[in-house]
Amino acid sequence: MDVHMFSRKHKVHFSECDPAGIVFFPQYFVLFNDMVEAWIDEILPEGFHGLIGARRIGIPTVHLDVDFNAVSKMGEHVWLSLDVERIGQKSLTLAWTCVGVDGVVRMAARQTMVMTSLDTHLSIAIPDDLRAAFECSAKTVDNG
């Protein structure tokens, strides 16, 4: 498996599949939203809940570009990975991949998220501590 900034092995559950027994495509978005939350839980002391709840900072998706290359079936194990591609002033671009244990890329996506105030719903600059956590997380992989 390639080295990724943040990855988890996942067993495809019945609840994630359509009647054909393959992952229903919107479920990938749920899986990767959970990955973003788990990643932020690891890189920020207050975690995702603290960012959203106490600090009132949202990170909504503003652009998503997805390719579905192969099916993932109920009961299979896959690797879900995310990597930071770009950190802007107010936004962040992540790359997602879902790869079977057989090495076949099932889906890949690029997600652009923007920092917002949950009080005003306007975009804001990425807070310094969050930027540092994003950068540190990305450098950890680059430096091996």
* pTM score of the predicted model: 0.88
Q: Which positions ≥6 away from 28 have C-beta within 8 Å?
A: 66, 98, 107, 109
Task: Report CA dihedral (58, 63, 96, 72) to the nearest 10 degrees.
Answer: 110
Tell me if 54 sits within 8 A of 115, measured CB to CB: no
CA gap 133, 138 in Å, rounded: 9
Burial of 100 (0-12, 13-18, 19+ CB in 10 A): middle
Domains plus CATH for the chain?
Answer: 6-142 (3.10.129.10)
Per-residue pLDDT of the chain (144 residues; tens, 9 = 90+): 355 689 999 999 999 999 999 999 999 999 999 999 999 999 999 999 999 999 999 999 999 999 999 999 999 999 999 999 999 999 999 999 999 999 999 999 999 999 999 999 999 999 999 999 999 888 765 444
